[in-house]
């Protein structure tokens, strides 16, 4: 499966999150790593690596980042498995992550919301103390 464009990736990722929400169980996996596959011109070759084993510590130019998302279905449920992947070029990182944060925040709705009840109780206490 080829890599998706950012727009497609985010739309499908939102779908993955919403199906989790409706089913009420399950997981979403998001992975990111340096894209080292199929990059002959940018990553050091074996020969180069023999000469300088630490060549990947100081690449000559920025490398793209690979971002994957799955719904955590294994071999048992291959038909239901959703695999998404996209490549983020170095100059697109900032824009990608701001959108990524939005999608994730919207999708991860089952996390505990910030507890405002305690704060309200405290505020009431303070008010009470001020008048008394």
Partner 1 sequence: MPYYAKSEDWLQQSSLLLQARPSTTRITTRYHLKPARRVRKPKKSDQDATAHEAQLPEAQEKPPRGHLVLKTYEPHSGVTLKYKTSKAAEVTRLIQMLGTLGRRMAAVPVVEKAEDEGMADAPPTEADGAGAGSGVQTPVGQTQQQQQQQQGGGGKGKKKKGGRR
Render 37-95 in DSSP notation, one character per residue.
TT-TTTSPPHHHHHH-TTGGGS-SS---EEEEEE----GGGGGG--EEEEEE-GGGHHH
Stretch that binds partner 1, among 2-10, 77-85, 86-94 (CB under 8 A): 86-94
Q: Verify binding: residue 24, partner 1, rule CB under 8 A.
A: yes
Rounded Cα–Cα distance for residues 36 and 70 (Å): 20
Stretch that binds partner 1, among 4-12, 59-67, 74-82 (CB under 8 A): 59-67
Closest to partner 1 by CB, 8 vs 26, is: 26
Among 74, 111, 117, 118, binds partner 1 (CB under 8 A): 111
Q: Verify binding: residue 26, partner 1, rule CB under 8 A.
A: yes
């Amino acid at each position: 499966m080829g890599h998706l464009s950012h727009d497609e990736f985010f739309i499908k990722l939102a779908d993955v999150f919403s199906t989790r929400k409706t089913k009420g169980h399950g997981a979403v996996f998001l992975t990111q790593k340096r894209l080292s596959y199929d990059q002959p011109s940018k990553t050091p070759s074996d020969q180069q690596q023999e000469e300088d084993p630490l060549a990947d510590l100081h690449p000559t130019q920025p490398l793209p980042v690979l971002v994957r998302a799955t719904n955590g279905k294994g071999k048992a449920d291959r038909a239901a498995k959703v695999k998404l992947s996209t490549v983020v070029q170095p100059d697109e990182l900032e824009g990608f992550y701001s959108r990524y944060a939005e999608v994730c925040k919207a999708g991860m709705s089952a996390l505990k919301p910030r507890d405002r009840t305690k704060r309200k109780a405290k505020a009431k206490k303070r008010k009470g103390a001020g008048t008394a």
